[in-house]
């Protein structure tokens, strides 16, 4: 029988290629941001649909929201998996919102029968031109529809629109909402929507629908949006805390440039209007403008992102200078001149979490994560954050005493998220001393297809394993001889079977458990 290294499942689970996976963090608007799980345009999207790389979501999800530009929703299909090995059928996206004058741009979702950790896409290349995807755990989402009386609160629009075109919520056709949580602005964060820049007014409506229906936020996450013609759209009430920079929304005004600006400059008109808007906000809320009060999304919050795009990020100092040169934009005239733009914008922060075996909910604290000369230790919840990492292909090394070392390569910059499991080492009193293997499934007594995921397995020779999500386990490199295999899982009675291991063969040792 073909022998599979018993940690092969983990290696498969690590194939989390592609764009930075933003993670859904906690509950409540202060933690909600526009970091996508995946955002792809044009050729990059075609490559994705042809190759179907596996993406790890960071945290388990029960729903996927999709914003897409294509002739038909069926041009893209999505499959999900708990363990990265066993996959759901390919699922069509259920359309939830289409702009009447823009049939090719729509929002939709797929709902999962059970939570998953991995996803992949397939489709016909060169049909869809844009796709943004967010994995969502419904239990952490706000159900804004329950018991609320929507209203469009009167906003302070009279103070905006000096020297540029300002479109109110009524102008662009915003849905009425009722959000809670006051803002008390102290700073400003600049984003890009990472969507196409065309048809901006329809796009703003579409983003509001997406943030409400697919993310389950109470309203569009940004306070303002600016299109390439320099028109400013009023977003969420400036009196209400936003949902734009995960972990950094408190007191923070969110301004999003409509478009995608990693490889393309925002327009002159767009930056000019943004500077005037920033000046008005500075004046109204007495915010002294500097690089410490006006930041790019990538510089704040708890999740890694390339937002607001490299080209926008490079213009932040000139944006502040322009805003300070605008009458009323000095915040009282006491602010210092803007600092020089950092020249090492190719340094990023790598985030992620480390867990035990195949079980992402069993987090591993105290593991060492190293990239080049930089190194950090995972927190008690298994998470880590490693700043100052150069954008290029790097080897990430994860080690902890008692666990098998893991090395994984990532194209840092394309992906800044690393999440992987570490396999427990063989018990030191029983090191691998043979070539016998043992595999099996842990299942509900009376029904061998009803598997018990993440059950623990102890072999009488001292070796242990944790079953994967499908109840499967395999242990290699054991001495021959009789063994007792004991399996345990919460709410089940522990049970044992005995088997005799033979060198060079793989014995089946499945264990039924009774509730
Ligand atoms: Zn952003």
* pLDDT per residue as tens digits for the range 163-202: 999 999 989 999 888 787 888 899 999 999 999 999 999 9
* Spacing, Cα 308 to ligand 1 middle (Å): 6
Please state the rounded mean pLDDT for residues 311-324: 95
* Spacing, Cα 160 to ligand 1 middle (Å): 22
* Spacing, Cα 427 to ligand 1 middle (Å): 46
* Spacing, Cα 33 to ligand 1 middle (Å): 7
* Spacing, Cα 96 to ligand 1 middle (Å): 23
Q: Boundaries of CATH 2.60.120 in the chain?
A: 8-140
**Cα within 13 Å of Cα(13), Cβ side:** 28
Q: Boundaries of CATH 3.40.80.10 in the chain?
A: 157-324
In the 3-class helix/strand/coil scheme, how is 316-354 assigned residue by residue?
HHHHHHHHHCCCCCCCCCCCCCCCCCCCCCCEEEEEEEE
* Spacing, Cα 54 to ligand 1 middle (Å): 24
Q: Boundaries of CATH 2.60.40.1120 in the chain?
A: 347-422
Does the domain made of 157-324 have the CATH classification 3.40.80.10?
yes
pLDDT above 80 (res 4): no
Closest CA to 235 of 253, 215, 213: 253
Q: Which of 26-35, 470-479, 498-507 has the lowest mean pLDDT?
A: 26-35
Beta-bridge partner residues of 255: 190, 224
* Spacing, Cα 127 to ligand 1 middle (Å): 26
* Spacing, Cα 409 to ligand 1 middle (Å): 26
> Given this model, what pLDDT does residue 427 score?
52
* Spacing, Cα 210 to ligand 1 middle (Å): 15
> Given this model, what pLDDT does residue 328 score?
47
Map residue 296 onto helix, strand or coil: strand
**Can you tell me the distance from the alpha carbon of 130 to that of 138, in angstroms, rounded to the nearest whole number?**
25
* Spacing, Cα 191 to ligand 1 middle (Å): 4
pLDDT above 50 (res 325): yes
Does the domain made of 8-140 have the CATH classification 1.10.3470?
no
Closest CA to 223 of 251, 247, 195: 251
Within 229-315, strands assigned E span 232-234, 252-257, 294-296
pLDDT above 80 (res 124): yes
* Spacing, Cα 256 to ligand 1 middle (Å): 7
* Spacing, Cα 364 to ligand 1 middle (Å): 29
- Check if the beta carbon of residue 504 is closer than 8 Å to that of residue 436: yes
Q: Which residue has the higher pLDDT, 229 or 153?
A: 229
Map residue 365 onto helix, strand or coil: coil
Beta-bridge partner residues of 80: 119
pLDDT above 80 (res 345): no
Q: Which residue has the higher pLDDT, 316 or 212?
A: 316
* Spacing, Cα 368 to ligand 1 middle (Å): 29
Q: Boundaries of CATH 2.60.40.10 in the chain?
A: 436-513
User: What CATH number does the domain located at 347-422 have?
Assistant: 2.60.40.1120
Percent of the chain surpassing pLDDT 70? 81
pTM: 0.59
pLDDT above 90 (res 76): yes
* Spacing, Cα 194 to ligand 1 middle (Å): 8
Condensed to tens digits (0 to 9), the pLDDT of residues 392-439 reads: 767 788 889 888 777 776 667 666 777 777 777 655 444 456 788 888
* Spacing, Cα 263 to ligand 1 middle (Å): 16
**Can you tell me the distance from the alpha carbon of 242 to that of 251, in angstroms, rounded to the nearest whole number?**
9
**Lookup result for tokens 């194939």:** 15
> Given this model, what pLDDT does residue 84 score?
78
pLDDT band at 67; cut points 50, 70, 90: very high
> Given this model, what pLDDT does residue 438 score?
87
> Given this model, what pLDDT does residue 52 score?
87
* Spacing, Cα 301 to ligand 1 middle (Å): 10
Q: Which residue has the higher pLDDT, 94 or 115?
A: 94
> Given this model, what pLDDT does residue 176 score?
87
> Given this model, what pLDDT does residue 264 score?
94
* Spacing, Cα 284 to ligand 1 middle (Å): 23
Condensed to tens digits (0 to 9), the pLDDT of residues 275-309 reads: 999 999 999 899 999 999 999 998 888 767 889 99
* Spacing, Cα 189 to ligand 1 middle (Å): 8
* Spacing, Cα 71 to ligand 1 middle (Å): 27
* Spacing, Cα 211 to ligand 1 middle (Å): 13
* Spacing, Cα 192 to ligand 1 middle (Å): 6
- Check if the beta carbon of residue 118 is closer than 8 Å to that of residue 84: yes
pLDDT above 80 (res 148): no
**Can you tell me the distance from the alpha carbon of 22 to that of 36, in angstroms, rounded to the nearest whole number?**
5
pLDDT above 80 (res 72): yes
**Can you tell me the distance from the alpha carbon of 382 to that of 239, in angstroms, rounded to the nearest whole number?**
36
**CATH domain 436-513 topology:** Immunoglobulin-like (2.60.40)
pLDDT band at 445; cut points 50, 70, 90: confident
**DSSP count for the chain of H helices, then E strands:** 7, 30
* Spacing, Cα 298 to ligand 1 middle (Å): 7
> Given this model, what pLDDT does residue 56 score?
83
Percent of the chain surpassing pLDDT 90? 36
């Amino acid at each position: 029988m073909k022998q599979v290294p018993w940690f092969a499942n983990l290696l498969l689970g690590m194939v989390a290629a592609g764009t930075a996976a933003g993670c859904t963090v906690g509950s409540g608007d202060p933690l909600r941001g526009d970091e996508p799980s995946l955002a792809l345009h044009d050729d990059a999207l075609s490559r994705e649909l042809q190759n179907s790389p596996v993406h790890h979501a960071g945290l388990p999800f029960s729903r996927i929201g999709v914003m897409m530009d294509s002739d038909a929703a069926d041009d893209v299909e999505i499959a999900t998996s708990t363990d990265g090995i066993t996959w759901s059928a390919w699922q069509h996206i259920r359309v939830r919102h289409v702009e009447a004058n823009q049939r090719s741009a729509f929002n939709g979702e797929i709902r999962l029968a059970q939570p998953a950790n991995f996803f992949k896409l397939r489709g016909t290349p060169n049909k869809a031109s844009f796709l943004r995807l967010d994995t969502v755990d419904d239990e952490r989402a706000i159900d804004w529809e329950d018991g609320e009386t929507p209203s469009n609160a009167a906003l302070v629009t009279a103070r905006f629109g000096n020297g540029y075109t300002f479109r109110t919520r009524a102008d662009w056709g915003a849905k009425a909402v009722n959000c809670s949580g006051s803002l008390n602005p102290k700073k400003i964060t600049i984003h890009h929507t990472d969507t196409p820049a065309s048809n901006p007014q329809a796009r703003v409506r579409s983003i509001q629908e997406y943030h409400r229906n697919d993310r389950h936020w109470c309203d569009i996450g940004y306070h303002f949006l600016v299109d390439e013609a320099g028109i400013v759209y009023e977003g969420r009430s400036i009196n209400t805390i936003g949902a734009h920079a995960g972990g950094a929304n408190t007191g923070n005004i969110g301004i999003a440039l409509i478009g995608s600006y990693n490889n393309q400059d925002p327009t002159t008109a767009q930056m000019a209007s943004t500077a005037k808007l920033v000046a008005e906000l500075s004046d109204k809320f007495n915010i002294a403008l500097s690089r410490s009060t006006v930041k790019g999304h990538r510089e704040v919050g708890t999740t890694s992102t390339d937002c607001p795009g490299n080209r926008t990020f490079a213009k932040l100092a000139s944006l502040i200078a322009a805003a300070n040169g605008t009458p009323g934009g000095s915040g009282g005239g006491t602010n210092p001149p803007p600092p020089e733009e950092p020249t090492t914008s190719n340094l990023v922060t790598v985030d992620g979490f480390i867990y035990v075996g195949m079980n992402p909910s069993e987090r591993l604290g105290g593991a060492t994560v190293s990239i080049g000369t930089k190194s950090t230790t995972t927190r008690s919840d298994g998470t880590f954050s490693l700043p100052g990492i150069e954008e290029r292909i790097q080897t990430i090394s994860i080690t902890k005493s008692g666990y098998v070392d893991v090395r994984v390569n990532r194209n840092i910059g394309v992906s800044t998220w690393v999440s992987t499991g570490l396999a427990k080492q063989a018990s030191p009193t029983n090191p691998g001393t043979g070539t016998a293997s043992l595999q099996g499934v842990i299942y509900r007594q009376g029904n061998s297809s009803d598997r018990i995921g993440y059950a623990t397995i102890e072999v009488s020779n001292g070796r242990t394993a944790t079953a994967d999500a499908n109840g499967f386990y395999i242990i290699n490199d054991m001495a021959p001889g009789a063994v007792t295999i004991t399996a345990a899982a919460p709410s089940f009675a522990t049970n044992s079977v005995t088997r005799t291991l033979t060198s060079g063969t793989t014995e089946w040792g499945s264990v039924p458990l009774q509730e």
